[in-house]
């Protein structure tokens, strides 16, 4: 009976080396993105205590809360703007774009270490948000296209869990580095994921589904058109219908 039931249960195919490398790159990118997302929340108070006076603003508790919230809002706006990566990934490939999103958020998190005022830090956080939002989206797309059908749901769940594990990494960095060297050093450590971007670019293969689609559609597809389509009559009508 047991053997008969086993034959009826769906089997999950083992991942190939290429699939495993791709999954680890996407998972690592999202986990380190979670770290770079949460870093700011941990160093907000000491960072603004230093930066507000350089911005001509008294470092009062009220000002710290107000401008700290504005900077966090800028980060979320950047996350919302991460849709710009979609056409890039369609045109240049999932792997290169995934690597670029990691470069984006690691570079601008690192630059937080040299911010001279709150406005500079807000600009860096906005740009980091564009990278982290893009990594989340591209990582999920990569998993959907690279893994076998019966591995996809579990892979997506494990992938998303990596982001929250990254928050633990951020707390660990703040505890070990921030407590000794200050908030700027914490932002500097946030630049470490750029090493993963190099690995992703040169060790990960394009998903077969993307290669097949690219071959079928050709390379003449416009890079700008997907962005312009967002404002077409078709999508405007759909947006108005959803609002109604």
**What backbone torsions phi and psi does residue 159 show, to the nearest 5 degrees?**
-60, -50
Per-10-residue mean pLDDT for the chain, 244 residues long? 44 75 90 94 95 93 94 95 89 90 96 95 96 91 81 82 92 95 96 94 81 60 55 62 57
Domain boundaries 16-207+221-243, corresponding CATH code? 1.20.1250.20
Report yes or no: 56 and 238 within 8 Å, Cβ to Cβ: no
- Which two structure tokens, joined as six digits, stand for 224? 């700008």
| Residue-level pLDDT at 169 | 95
Query: Domain extents for the chain?
Result: 16-207+221-243
- The tokens for 109 are 């998190």
User: What pTM was estimated for this model as a whole?
Assistant: 0.81
94/140 Cα distance (integer angstroms): 11
Residue 141 is predicted with a pLDDT of 86
Instruction: Give 176's DSSP letter.
Output: I
Picking from 153, 173, 215, 201, the residue whose alpha carbon sits closest to that of residue 21 is 201
Structure tokens at 215: 């071959």
pLDDT the model gives residue 6: 42
Quick one: pLDDT at residue 11? 59
Summarised one tens digit per residue, pLDDT across range 41-89 is 999 999 999 999 999 999 999 999 999 999 999 999 999 999 999 888 8
CA dist 181 and 153 (Å) reads 41
């Amino acid at each position: 009976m047991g053997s008969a039931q086993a034959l009826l249960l769906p089997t999950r195919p083992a991942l190939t080396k290429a699939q495993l490398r791709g999954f680890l790159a996407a998972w690592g990118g999202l986990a380190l993105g979670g770290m770079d997302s949460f870093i700011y929340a941990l160093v907000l108070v000491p960072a603004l205590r230093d930066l507000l006076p350089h911005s001509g603003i008294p470092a009062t508790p009220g000002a710290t809360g107000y401008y700290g919230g504005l900077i966090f809002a800028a980060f979320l706006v950047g996350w919302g703007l991460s849709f710009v990566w979609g056409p890039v990934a369609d045109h240049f490939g999932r792997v290169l774009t995934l690597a670029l999103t990691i470069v984006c958020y690691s570079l601008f998190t690192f630059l937080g270490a040299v911010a001279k005022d709150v406005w500079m830090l807000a600009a860096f956080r906005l740009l980091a948000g564009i990278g982290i939002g893009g990594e989340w989206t591209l990582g999920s797309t990569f998993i959907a296209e690279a893994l076998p059908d019966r591995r996809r749901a579990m892979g997506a769940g494990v992938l998303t869990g990596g982001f929250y594990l990254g928050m633990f990494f951020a707390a660990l960095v703040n505890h070990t580095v921030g407590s000794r060297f200050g908030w700027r050093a914490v932002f500097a450590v946030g630049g470490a994921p750029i090493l993963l971007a190099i690995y992703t670019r040169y060790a990960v293969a394009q998903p077969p589904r993307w290669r097949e689609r690219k071959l079928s559609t050709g390379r003449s597809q416009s890079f700008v058109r997907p962005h312009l389509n967002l404002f077409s009559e078709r999508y405007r009508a759909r947006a108005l219908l959803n609002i109604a």
